[in-house]
Amino acid sequence: MAGFSLDSVEAVVGSGRAVISADDGTVVAAVRDALRHGRSATFYLTPGQAATVKSWYWTPQRVEERGLEPVSNEELARIGSELRIEGMGHSYSNRIVCECGAVYGAFEFVQQGVAEHGKEQVDAVLALEDVYVLRVNPVNSAVCPACTRGIIVGHEYDMTGSYGCCRSEAPV
Ligand SMILES: [Zn+2]
* 163, β-bridge pairs: 133, 159
What's this model's pTM, rounded to 2 decimal places?
0.89
Average pLDDT, the chain: 91
* pLDDT at residue 1, as a whole number: 46
Mean pLDDT to the nearest integer, 145-152: 88
Q: How far apart are the CA of 146 and the centre of ligand 1, in A?
A: 5
Q: How far apart are the CA of 142 and the centre of ligand 1, in A?
A: 11
Mean pLDDT to the nearest integer, 155-172: 84
43 burial via Cβ count (<10 Å: 0-12, 13-18, 19+): buried
Q: How far apart are the CA of 101 and the centre of ligand 1, in A?
A: 6
pLDDT at 8 over 60: yes
The CA distance from 112 to 109, in Å, is 5
pLDDT in tens, 109-138: 999 999 999 999 999 999 998 999 999 999
